[in-house]
Structure 1
Amino acid sequence: MSEATATVSRPAIDLARIKAWLPAYGVYVAIALLLVYNVLFTPNFLAWSNLRIQLIQVAPIVIVALGMALVIGTEGIDLSVGSVMALAAALIPLYLGYGVIAAILVSLVAGVLVGLINGTLVARVGLQPIVATLALFVGGRGLALVISDGQLKDVRNDDLIYLGSGDFLRIPVLVWIAALLVLVVAFVVRRTVFGRRLLAIGGNRPATELAGVPVKRVLITVYVVCSVLASIAGLLAVARIQSSDASAVGLLIELSAITAVVVGGTPLTGGKVRVLGTVAGALLMQLVVATMIKHNLQPSTTEMVQAVIILIAVYVARERKSR
């Protein structure tokens, strides 16, 4: 009788383990399956030219998603990252005459200012993150269009172009920069006091405040970091396409970044940041899009598949939280 009971209960235990395992590692399984499918059925998928294009396209999303993951780790969200990219792109041509370093610094300072505004509205004024960042989601791109006079401007600077189009050891410099930022963010989250405070705020903000943690200062810093990473993505986008178009740079990238973070296993309720999972989430979504393009599927189909993936990721995260 006991053996029969054990036999019946075993599948339920296995199913529970699968459900617990899926949010953290399901994205890697999905990537592996997509890679196998493409190797078998997509012509020239393993050609270096194709892999290089995929890495270049996903690198800016990874950079923006890293900042988004930090913000979501505090139970917040930042909708202004695309506008920050546009603002950085608009400023680059204006200051490139003073040298590439000056232009990069100005674009980064713009990111710092936007982050300070967002962080102050959230931490000190007490606005909901989605409301606070929505203002600059709209206003930031408008300001970028004003700065650029609504015109596309060519960028002709070899040093800047090298960052977006050059190679180092046959790997795009853009990818090296993204990889370095991944390592830095992972170290900050796992090995620093700031990282522990960030996660504590997302896990239980009132308790963190009672423990004496400078919650407001940490929150402002998180939003500043997020905006600076978006600025880096913006200037790299300009360097890659060799032009500045404030109306197009970073358009809707906030949705791609949020998707990468959620699919990668970081809960929207905060308290946890999966850095490698975020990278994997961005790679998965890029593979989905690339696979459908290679097989001549309509863009509308691609968007619907992405929506289904997001819904599945959110549902799995919800199930895990309920347990």
Structure 2
Amino acid sequence: MADLALRRLPTDRAAVLRGLQDYGVHAGVAVLVLVNILVTPHFLTGENFRTQAVQVAPVIIAALGMALAIGSEGIDLSVGSVMALATSLVSLYLGYGPWIALLVAVLGGAAVGVANGALVAWVGVQPIVATLALMVGARGLALVLLPQLKDVRDPGMAALGSGTLAGIPYLVLIAAGLALLVGLVVRHTLFGRRLLAIGDSRPAAALAGLPVRRILLLVYVGSGALAALAGVLATARLTASDPTSLGTLMELSAITAVVVGGTPLSGGRVRIGGTVAGAVLIQLLTATLIKHDLPPSWTQIAQAVVIVLAVYAARERGKR
């Protein structure tokens, strides 16, 4: 009996490690919530939860697009700059109405996605290089269109940024709805299955006759459109367009949320629920440090530690 238990120990240990790697992000969120309940004043208040949820909504939306890109064995470093471009376009076209401004901004983000997808799928540029070029270019275009901060004074935008439905902010409902939609697309559609197949092995997917270039183009278009929508929602929440700072380091937050959530950088798998939990983890970590009067540098250090741990976990997952 003792020998049998010893023989089973490695298997049991592997199962524990697998559980920690797959669901550690959820445990991390639970631990942070518990710590804040114990040490952070006024944490268990409706206003605090509403503030945290509204702040994390744009991060979740941008991370959803990043998850699609990483799932295809790519990456999208341009999401933060697309958010900046979106806020500039909102400011320029708001005179035509908030819905026109939103549509133009999302189309602008999709256009950046077309450029990213074309470079990756047709020209053959590595995703990190292609999206880095658009990261620089989109931010530059945003600053050309709107060189400085500008107030956004529009009732429609204000309602989008601060309105609620049954007490739940519109931003939270939009983020939750998009997470559900993207999750369904990845798990239950032909597009999702093809995306994962391409991420698992692009040469094998091409040999199987899959439309690799078209799928990759759609992935980056989707990422750009989602990032632009995140920029519009952030603009509505802040009631200001500021292309100099909006979306800064968002690409790192999005990558961290995706990888911490269990999506491997090697592609072939997308965990939408984990991505949402990863974004929440980052938001809670940042808010906790701020509430305890730690300088912003500590927030950056903490996020760096999370990124390292996430990459290590992804490497260990790949060994299995």
TM-score, scaled relative to structure 2: 0.97
Code of the residue aligned with 1:309 in structure 2: it is V
Structure-1 residue corresponding to 2:284? 287
Deviation at 1:7, TM superposition (A): 3.6
1:94 equivalent among 83, 87, 92: 92
1:179 and 1:7 mapped to 2: Cα distance? 44
Mapping 1:175-190, distance limit 5 Å? 175-190=172-187
Partners of 2:304 and 2:216 in 1: how far apart? 30
Residue type of the partner of 2:165? F
| Corresponding residue for residue 42 of structure 1 | 40
> Which residue in 2 is equivalent to 1:236?
233
Gaps of 5+ in 1: none
The AA in structure 1 aligned to 2:115 is I
Q: Residue 93 of structure 1: CA displacement?
A: 1.7
Q: Alpha-carbon deviations, 1:150-198, whole Å to 9, x = none?
A: 1211111111111111121111111111111111101100111000000
1:267-288 per-residue CA deviation (whole Å, 9 max, x = no partner) reads 0000000000000000111111
Q: Counterpart in 2 of 1:27?
A: 25
3-state DSSP of counterpart to 1:202: helix
Deviations 1:53-93 (A, max 9, x none): 11011110000000000000000000111111111110112
> How far, CA to CA, are the matches of 2:293 and 2:94 in structure 1?
40
Determine the C-alpha separation between the residues in 2 that align with 1:144 and 1:124: 26
Q: Please, which of 112, 115, 119 is the counterpart of residue 113 of structure 2?
A: 115
1:317 — aligned with what? Answer: 314
CA offsets, 1:84-123, max 9 Å, x none? 1111110112111111221111111111111100000000
Distance between the aligned counterparts of 2:256 and 2:106, measured in 1? 25
Checking the alignment, whether the CA contact within 8 Å between 1:22 and 1:316 is kept in structure 2 is no
Equivalent residue for 1:212, pick from 209, 213, 218: 209
Distance in 2 (CA, whole Å) between partners of 1:78 and 1:49 is 33
1:27 is displaced (CA, Å) by: 0.7
3-state SS of 2:65 partner: helix
Match for residue 221 of structure 1? Answer: 218
Q: Give the Cα–Cα distance (whole angstroms) in 2 for the partners of residues 299 and 12 of structure 1.
A: 42
Distance between the aligned counterparts of 1:101 and 1:306, measured in 2? 35
Kindly report which structure 2 residues correspond to 1:140-151, keeping only aligned pairs within 5 A, or say none. 140-148=138-146, 150-151=147-148
Residues of 1 paired with 2:129 and 2:77: CA distance? 9
CA distance in 1, matches of 2:2, 2:169: 59
Instruction: Say what the alpha-carbon RMSD is for the aligned residues.
Output: 1.1
Counterpart for residue 54 of structure 2: 56
Moved more, 62-71 or 305-314: 305-314
Which residue type is aligned with residue 123 of structure 1? A
Q: How many residues align?
A: 320
Shift of 1:300: 2.1
- For residues 277-305 of structure 1, the C-alpha deviation after alignment (integer angstroms, 9 at most, x for no partner) is 00000011111111222222232222222
**1:117-136 pair list within 5 angstroms:** 117-136=115-134
Identity %: 59
Q: Is the 8 A contact 1:66 1:182 kept in 2?
A: yes
Structure 2 gap ranges (5+): none
Q: Counterparts of 2:162 and 2:51 in 1: how far apart (Å)? A: 11
CA distance in 1, matches of 2:100, 2:79: 22
Which of the residues 153, 157, 163 maps onto 1:156? Answer: 153
SS of residue matched to 2:269: coil
Residue-by-residue CA offset, 1:19-69 (whole Å, 9 max, x unaligned): 122221111111111111211222111101111111011110000000000
- What secondary structure, in the 3-state scheme, does the structure 1 residue paired with 2:105 have? helix
Shift >4 Å, 4+ stretches: none
| Secondary structure class of the residue paired with 1:213 | coil
Question: Post-superposition shift, 1:10?
Answer: 4.0
- Deviating more after overlay: 44-53 vs 14-23: 14-23
